[in-house]
Amino acid sequence: MRDKLGEELRDVLQELMNISMGQAANELAKLIETKITLSIPHIVTITPEEFAEIFDSADRYWFSRQSFLGSLRGEVIALLSKSGTDTMASLMDYPLPLDDATTEELILELANILAGACLKGFAEQLELKANLSMPTAYRPAQDKERQFRWDSALLMEVEFKVEQSMFGSKVLICLEDQSVDSLINRLNTLLE
């Protein structure tokens, strides 16, 4: 799969991701009434071993997973920084101090806002269907198997930073091989 996505398609994909991630940032910014900055989307093909390395940062991040099905299939993984969590809770009117249950509720709400808006915007631009499940908390230390549904994945990553806090987030859209083929066909159609 490493050779499937050429430079031209990668540029188009990066622009589409930029738009959909911008929509996600705007949605969260409206909710918390503060500015959010975005990184340039990073798009890379990775192996399961490379993917597993993402979860080696469990000391710095909370994780959530959301599967999606339809014309596009895969998972959206959200990495939400542990630093700044209290500030985000306050901006979202959660009572402080946070207990474990409230922290998980906050993390899942943030993940759903960011991941949902990202995937929705991305799929709409491509005129492809992708139905997103509800997020679930993912604890890498408790999941020794680290089961994922692909031999390799197209990883699309963008970072969100909330200006009023140390809080940041990464949203990773992971596509299965078959969905990468659908995506490439759709991108080629858009370029015609």
The reply to whether 73 falls in a domain is yes
Q: What is the extent of the structural domain holding 70?
A: 7-186
Q: Looking at residue 90, what is its pLDDT?
A: 93
The reply to whether 191 falls in a domain is no
pTM for the structure as a whole: 0.85
- Report the helix count and the strand count for the chain, using DSSP H and E: 5, 8
Cross-strand bridge partners of residue 70: 130
Phi, psi of 104 (to 5 degrees): -65, -40
- 3-9 — which CB contacts under 8 Å span 24+ positions? 4/45, 4/180, 4/181, 4/184, 5/43, 5/45, 5/154, 5/180, 5/184, 8/191, 9/184, 9/187, 9/188, 9/191
Q: How many domains does the structure of the chain reveal? A: 1
Q: At what angle do helices 177-191 and 7-32 cross, to 10 degrees?
A: 100
The reply to whether 2 falls in a domain is no
Q: Looking at residue 147, what is its pLDDT?
A: 62
The reply to whether 181 falls in a domain is yes
What is the longest distance spanned by two Cα atoms in the chain? 55
Q: Looking at residue 64, what is its pLDDT?
A: 93
pLDDT means per 10 residues, the chain with 192 residues, are: 71 87 86 88 81 84 91 88 92 94 95 86 86 89 62 75 85 82 86 80
Q: Looking at residue 83, what is its pLDDT?
A: 92
The reply to whether 99 falls in a domain is yes
Q: Looking at residue 152, what is its pLDDT?
A: 62
Q: Looking at residue 92, what is its pLDDT?
A: 92
